[in-house]
Structure 1
Amino acid sequence: MSNRHVPVNLFGDNGMRANLPINLINVADTQEIPNSQEIFVYRDSGASIIIDILQKVDIEDPEAAAKFHLDAIAEDNDSMEHNSIIIQRPITNELSPILLDGGQVLQKAGSIHHLRTLFSLFRVKGKNHDVVVSFNIPIGTGQGRGRNGAVTVEQEQLIVSDFFKAVDSLRVVDYNLFAV
Structure 2
Amino acid sequence: MTDYEIPRPTDGDVVDLILDDHRLFEALLRDLRDATADREAARAALSAVLIAHGEAEESKVYSTLRRKDAITPHEAEHGEEEHAEGNEALLALLECKGTDTQKFDDAVEDLATALNHHIGEEEQTILNPARTEVSEEVRQDLGAQWATERNRLLDAGVGSLTSVRKVVARAHREGLLPADDEEGDKEDGDKEDKG
TM-score normalised to structure 2 length:
0.23
Name the one with the larger helix percent.
Answer: 2
Instruction: Pick 1 or 2: higher relative contact order, CA cutoff 8 A, min separation 6.
Output: 2
